Amino acid sequence: MSPINYVYLAALLFTIGAAGVLIRRNAIVVFMCIELMLNAANLTLVAFSRMHGNLDGQIMAFFVMVVAAAEVVVGLAIIVMLYRARHSASVDDASLMKL
Amino acid sequence: MTGVTGMTQVASAGGTSDAVPSLWTIAAAGDKLQAPSIEYGKLSPVLIVLGAAAVGVLIDAFAPRKARYSAQLFVALAGLAAAFAAVIGLAASGAGTTKAQIAGMGALAVDGPTLFLQGTLLLVGIVGVFTFAERRLEPAGRGGRVDSFAAQPAAVPGGEGEQQAVKAGWTTTEVFPLLLFAVGGMLLFPAANDLLTLFIALEVFSLPLYLLCALARRRRLLSQEAAVKYFLLGAFSSAFLLFGTALLYGYAGTVNYSAIARVISGADAVSDPVLADTTGNDALLLIGGALVVMGLLFKVGAVPFHMWTPDVYQGAPTPVTGFMAAATKVAAFGALLRLLYVVLPGLRWDWRPVMWGVAILTMLGGAIVAITQTDIKRLLAYSSIAHAGFLLAGVIATSEDGISSVLFYLAAYSFVTLGAFAVVTLVRDAGGEATHLSKWAGLGRRSPLLAAVFAVFLLAFAGIPLTSGFAGKFAVFKAAAEGGAGALVVVGVIASAIAAFFYLRVIVLMFFSEPQADGPSVAVPSVMTTSAIALGVVVTVVLGVAPQYFLDLAGQAGVFVR
């Protein structure tokens, strides 16, 4: 199988993630969809790395994993804080500043 | 299928390494692994700031609660001042002009724009520390004076834990290392010379900002909501930036800026002709470039990626809003300029029309929506969107003047912003800051000095002559007109006129309406906020009356190293 198929798969996963961010209402699920988008980018990087025959893409993938882990730490802290104050993690309920 | 199917086949293929990608095999003899050479001197501003941030974390972990505030304040100011001295030293040694070079094995470019923006960011950081450390505005608790950050961020708002923490007079001294980490990432962002560094720097400065937004002492629900919105939308946009990065890597086979530019211009052939129909494909280049630019436009706050700006600016603690509004814009415009001028100049016939549209939408959108605002922080947020549009006009110029005018505008704008938000922290009533515009009526009669200072900032935002705003706007529009964007300048002037209306409306409100009976009082700050505001006034007036020296400085800094 040609590695380009992994790029197509990654584009599909990225689109699913982006659609999920826009459609889903629970902050945790929205966040999971963002993680899906990051992992789709990782898959693209690794597939292209294989096609080009250099290691840049694989190294980037490692960095992205670390960044995603750091983002989880910060993101879950913020979302849990919101949940404890309101007993709801819905992004629709967070509308105090709506005009 | 031309390549290999697995490790075993590679191993058995042995000597015929020409047909095999050199992923799993190395040449037999000779090649020793070279240790990377790092130019520590050139990277010293970043290293000093990040080192100070690490020290700050240790202080918060080990120092007793009483000692933390003064220790953190000292470390933060010392770190930022030392880094600023390092930037001045580098600039004096010619690193910005004749000795501009790529440092850190191709990861960072140390050149004129980098040093100019790093210097600006460090000064913004120092003023930011001043406003963060202000402890005269909130009523004192039992444990001493407190600042505008939550007593115990983890405690539920209005809960028992919060009450105890407030009573004990606790404060969140973690804000200082968070600010230093954010400044460290921002110093890297305009210097990034490959797409990996760009992404990492983006995250390094964004993650602390997400947290800082959530830490307000008053109106904590608003603050937490702002943090959630900023975090989710920021992470969303950085995922787009990352996917764009991956596609550009697929196109060019490298993440280095100048190498990508060479592939785009056709100077370097794209890797393997066998791959020509999949990689090296223009669709990858166009989509990838668009996604990366989109991620940067989000950070800049350009329409249509501006939705987070008003909510985050309103909900975040005001010192954080001021710091974020000034510093994020400086860092993100630096990175946007470098990306468009170093990586994508070969595509300028593709990106210029798009940026035209974005600039027009941003200028008009920001200025028109700002008219309807009733909250001073939201008003300043929409005004920052309009200013992003004016800056984009300079970016579109695609000339050396374009770069230097944007640099000058950023320096002028950031100090006005810091000063304006510092003024907002002083106008208070029983519930904390009185940000509703109706509360500001008649402020000029109660507190003429403060109102006059705020009027100076508003005039600078509006771009009235003899303020820094005029000099900056003039430079940007002149560069844009000379770069062939005359129509854009016309739109820009119309948007400025619309924006002037609501700035003047606030001035009229402050000086020519009757004060309300239950109006806010003006708190007397310590020397720190006073100096932040004073510096804002001085920079506004000096850059407005005698801008030539600073225009020359920006002009010398206006060349990117490739």
**pLDDT value at position B282?**
84
Mind giving me the DSSP string for B166-228?
HHHT---TTHHHHHHHHHHHHHHGGGB-BHHHHHHHHHHHHHHHHHHHT-BSSSHHHHHHHHH
Q: Which of B4, B26, B7, B23 is nearest to B15 (CA)?
A: B26
| pLDDT for residue B292 | 97
Structure tokens at B315: 């909900």
The answer to whether the Cα torsion of B63, B64, B67, B73 is positive or negative is positive
Residue-range definition of the domain harbouring residue B70: 40-556
For residue B316, list chain A residues with Cβ-Cβ distance below 8 A. none
pLDDT at B25 (0 to 100): 61
Contact B96, B556 (CB under 8 A): yes
Q: What is the ipTM of this complex?
A: 0.97
Instruction: Answer whether B275 sits within 8 Å of A51, measured CB to CB.
Output: yes
Coil vs helix vs strand at B164: helix
| pLDDT over 60 (residue B234) | yes
Q: Give B85-142 pLDDT, tens digit per residue.
A: 999 999 999 888 888 889 988 899 999 999 999 999 999 999 999 999 998 888 877 7
Q: Distance between CA atoms of B172 and B60, rounded to whole angstroms?
A: 9
Mean pLDDT for B188-206 is 96
Tell me the β-bridge partners of B147.
Answer: none
Residue B495 lies in a domain: yes
Output DSSP code: residue B427. E
Q: Which two tokens stand for residue B256?
A: 């280095």
Instruction: Check residue B291 and give its pLDDT.
Output: 96
Chain A residues with beta carbon closer than 8 angstroms to that of B315: 97
Query: Does the pLDDT of residue B214 top 90, yes or no?
Result: yes
Residue B472 resides in a domain: yes
Per-residue pLDDT of B130-176, as tens digits, reads 999 998 888 877 777 888 898 888 888 888 888 888 888 888 999 99
What pLDDT digit, counting tens, does each position of B510-560 carry?
A: 999 888 888 888 888 999 999 999 999 999 999 999 999 999 999 988 889
Cα–Cα distance measured from residue B133 to residue B180, given in angstroms and rounded to the nearest whole number: 13
Q: Is the pLDDT of residue B217 over 70?
A: yes
In the prediction, which pLDDT does B16 show? 43
- Across the interface, do B239 and A41 touch by the CB < 8 Å criterion? yes
pLDDT digits (tens, 9 = 90+) for B390-433: 999 999 998 989 999 999 999 999 999 999 999 999 999 888 88
Query: What pLDDT, on the 0 to 100 scale, is given for residue B466?
Result: 92
**B305 is a domain residue:** yes
For residues A82-98, give the mean pLDDT: 84
A38 touches chain B (CB under 8 A): yes
Residue A36 pairs in a beta bridge with none
B141 located within any domain:
yes
Segment B194-208 shows an average pLDDT of 96
Distance from CA of B437 to the nearest CA of A (A): 15
pLDDT at residue B274 is higher than 60:
no
| In a domain? residue B222 | yes
Q: For residue B11, what pLDDT band results from cuts at 50, 70 and 90?
A: very low
Smallest CA–CA distance, residue A84 to chain B, in Å, is 6
B561 within some domain:
no
B8 domain-assigned: no
Q: Which residue has the higher pLDDT, B515 or B328?
A: B328
How many domains does chain B contain in total?
Answer: 1
- Chain B residues 12-71 with a CB less than 8 Å from chain A: 21-23
3-state SS of B275-295? Answer: HCCCCCCHHHHHHHHHHHHHH
Among B196, B235, B243, select the one facing A40 at the smallest CB separation.
Answer: B243
Q: What CATH number was assigned to the domain covering residues A4-86? A: 1.10.287.3510
Work out the percent of chain B whose per-residue pLDDT is above 90.
69
What confidence score (pLDDT) does residue B10 get?
Answer: 39
Q: How many CA atoms lie within 13 A of B530 on its CB side?
A: 8
Provide the 10 A C-beta neighbour count for residue B405.
30
DSSP character for B510?
A: H
* Cross-chain Cβ contact B210/A74 below 8 Å: yes
The average confidence (pLDDT) of chain B is: 89
pLDDT bracket for residue B20 (50, 70, 90): low
Higher pLDDT, residue A37 or B161: A37
Query: Residues 391 to 420 of B: which have CB under 8 A from any A CB?
Result: none
Tell me if B429 is assigned to some domain: yes
Interface test with A, best of B220, B229, B243, B287 (most A CBs within 10 A): B243
- CB-based contact A84 B156, cutoff 8 Å: yes
pLDDT of amino acid B367: 95
The residue-averaged pLDDT of B470-497 equals 94
Q: What's the pLDDT at B281? A: 76
**Tens digit of each residue's pLDDT (9 = 90 or more) over B345-374:** 888 889 999 999 999 999 999 999 999 999
Residues 443 to 502 of B: which have CB under 8 A from any A CB? none
- Containing H/E element for B109? strand B108-110
Residue type, B491: V
pTM confidence score? 0.92
Interface touch B243/A57, C-beta < 8 Å:
no
Q: Could you tell me which residues come within 8 angstroms of residue B497 by beta carbon, excluding any fewer than 6 positions away?
A: none
Q: List the domain boundaries for chain A.
A: 4-86
Does B82 touch chain A if contact means CB atoms closer than 8 Å? no
Structure confidence at residue B68 (pLDDT): 93
- Selected residue of B188, B242, B260 to mutate for chain A interface (largest A Cβ count, 10 A): B242
A77 close contact with B: CB closer than 8 A: yes
Average pLDDT, integer, range B262-278 = 69
Residue B178 has pLDDT above 60, yes or no: yes
3-state SS class at B522: strand
Option in A44, A63, A75 nearest B247 (CB): A44
How confident is the model at residue B126, as a pLDDT? 97
Strand partners, B114: none
A32 CB near a chain B CB, below 8 Å? no
- What angle, 0 to 180 degrees and rounded to 10, lies between the N-to-C axes of helices B175-188 and B318-338? 10
- Of residues A40, A55, A97, nearest to B315 (C-beta): A97
